[in-house]
């Protein structure tokens, strides 16, 4: 029994050491794009560090002190990455009955979606004003048929915008960049009683290899700069969490408020081609931004609809 305790104590000490090393390296993301990729997993590392911290109260001697110091430091370092997301200021909300509300749904439909008909039926039942979708290559012919009441901005299956109102302008011009770096993007401009507003959508690559996502962020910032910021709405699967330093820099570059706040949207059930299954989503990587001409009524996560992402349902009021 004593041998089992020793092995378990050694294992927990190793877990605490690994969590500390990961959390400390993640803070290097301030200066290193490679290390910034570690920041995305801060909630998981924090959760893992709690285990040796709790176990330390069950043992005696030097392992207890070592575990408490390493695990406690790891928890503080991870909290330092995550807490700013919860503490950042937000604009005054709009009442649920505010006039002129629009509902925008963001969803990475996923090319491996197991129940595409269910996903489309859910979208139709939500009756949104605007739908921004990514990865719809398998269903791009179904969408105009099943959602016949919607105008389709582009048939580029990587990013598609559907809207009840007919756009007065569409923009699907590829960004001026190398094909490897260039994120797919679509935008549509509408006019309502308050004037014009533009909705744009995109889909970033993964945060590894380092540098690609940061370059895409700069390209998107330039693209968004073509439109008036007052009533601009921007959304997409950005494959980037709010505690990464890259996301914080882009928040500043976009100069419009991110309305999603630590809204965990990935993964859902089986992901990475069905090889792994997640009990809960642990990365908030689908984001919604809106200019100061919009107030937030609500931002909520939709149900599982066969994709490896949850939908994000945003209601805004002018």
Task: Look up the pTM and report it.
Answer: 0.94
The yes-or-no verdict on residue 310 having pLDDT over 90 is yes
Contacts of 114 (CB under 8 A, 6+ apart): 306
Count other Cβ atoms within 10 Å, centred on residue 101. 17
Cα–Cα distance for residue pair 285/282, rounded to 1 Å: 9
Q: What is the pLDDT of residue 63?
A: 77
The yes-or-no verdict on residue 292 having pLDDT over 80 is yes
State the average pLDDT for the chain. Answer: 92
Q: pLDDT of 258-290, one tens digit each? A: 999 999 999 998 776 667 777 889 999 999 999
What residue ranges do the domains of the chain occupy?
Answer: 2-87, 102-317
- Of 60-64, 73-77, 139-143, 281-285, the one with minimum mean pLDDT is 60-64
Cα–Cα distance for residue pair 133/236, rounded to 1 Å: 8
3-state SS assignment for residue 124: helix
**Helix spans in 56-136 (H):** 62-87, 116-126
The yes-or-no verdict on residue 128 having pLDDT over 70 is yes
The residues with which 130 forms a beta bridge, in sequence order, are: 104, 163
User: Which is nearest to 174 in space by CA: 188, 156, 190?
Assistant: 156
pLDDT tier for residue 3 given thresholds of 50, 70 and 90: low
Tokens for 97? 């009955």
Q: What is the pLDDT of residue 235?
A: 98
The answer to whether 292 and 230 are in contact (CB under 8 A) is yes
Q: Is 209 exposed, middle or buried (0-12, 13-18, 19+ CB in 10 A)?
A: exposed
Q: pLDDT of 145-186, one tens digit each? A: 999 999 998 768 899 999 999 999 988 766 766 766 789 999
The yes-or-no verdict on residue 14 having pLDDT over 70 is yes
Strand 102-108 relative to strand 130-134: parallel, antiparallel, unpaired?
parallel
Torsion of Cα atoms, 28 then 32 then 33 then 36, to 10°: 0
Q: pLDDT of 248-259, one tens digit each? A: 999 999 999 999
The answer to whether 299 and 265 are in contact (CB under 8 A) is no
The yes-or-no verdict on residue 189 having pLDDT over 90 is yes
CATH class of the domain at 102-317: alpha beta
Strand 276-278 relative to strand 233-237: parallel, antiparallel, unpaired?
unpaired
Decide which of 187 and 176 is more confident: 187
Angle between helices 2-27 and 42-55 (to 10 degrees): 150
Contacts of 9 (CB under 8 A, 6+ apart): 55, 59, 63, 67
pLDDT tier for residue 143 given thresholds of 50, 70 and 90: very high
Cα–Cα distance for residue pair 177/11, rounded to 1 Å: 48
Q: What is the pLDDT of residue 274?
A: 61
Cα–Cα distance for residue pair 67/73, rounded to 1 Å: 10
Laid out side by side, the sheet with 233-237 consists of 169-171, 185-192, 195-203, 233-237, 286-290, 257-258
pLDDT tier for residue 225 given thresholds of 50, 70 and 90: very high
The rounded Cα 44 to chain-centroid distance in angstroms is 16
Cα–Cα distance for residue pair 62/135, rounded to 1 Å: 52
Decide which of 168 and 91 is more confident: 168
CA angle 112–117–121, rounded 5-degree value:
130
Q: What is the pLDDT of residue 39?
A: 98
At 242, give phi and psi (nearest 5°).
Answer: -70, -15
């Amino acid at each position: 029994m004593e041998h089992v305790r020793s092995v378990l104590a050694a294992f927990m000490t190793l877990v605490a050491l690994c969590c500390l090393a990961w959390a400390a390296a993640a803070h290097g993301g301030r200066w290193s794009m490679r290390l910034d990729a570690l920041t995305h997993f801060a909630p998981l590392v924090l959760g893992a560090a709690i285990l040796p911290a709790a176990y330390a109260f069950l043992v005696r001697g030097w392992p207890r002190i070592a575990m408490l110091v390493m695990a406690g430091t790891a928890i503080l370092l991870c909290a330092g990455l995550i807490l700013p997301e919860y503490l950042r200021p937000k604009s005054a909300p709009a009442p649920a009955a505010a006039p002129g509300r629009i509902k925008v749904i963001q969803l990475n439909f996923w090319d491996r979606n197991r129940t595409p008909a269910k996903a489309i039926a859910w979208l139709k039942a939500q009756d949104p004003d605007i739908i921004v979708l990514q990865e719809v290559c398998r269903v791009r012919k179904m969408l105009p048929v099943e959602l016949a009441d919607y105008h389709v901005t582009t048939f580029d299956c990587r990013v598609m915008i559907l809207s009840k109102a007919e756009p007065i302008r569409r923009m699907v011009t590829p960004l001026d960049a190398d094909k490897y770096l260039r994120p797919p993007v679509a935008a549509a401009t509408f006019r309502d009683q308050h004037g014009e507003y533009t909705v744009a959508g995109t889909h970033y690559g993964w945060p590894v290899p380092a540098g690609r996502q940061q370059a895409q962020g700069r390209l998107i910032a330039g693209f968004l700069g073509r439109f008036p910021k007052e009533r601009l709405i921007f959304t997409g699967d950005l494959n980037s969490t709010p505690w990464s330093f890259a996301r914080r820099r882009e928040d500043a570059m976009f100069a419009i408020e991110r309305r999603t706040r630590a809204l965990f949207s990935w993964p859902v059930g089986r992901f990475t081609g069905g090889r792994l299954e997640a009990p809960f989503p642990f990365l908030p990587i689908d984001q919604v931004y809106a200019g100061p001409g919009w107030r937030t009524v609500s931002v909520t996560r939709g149900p599982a609809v066969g994709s490896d992402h949850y939908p994000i349902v945003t209601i805004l009021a002018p």
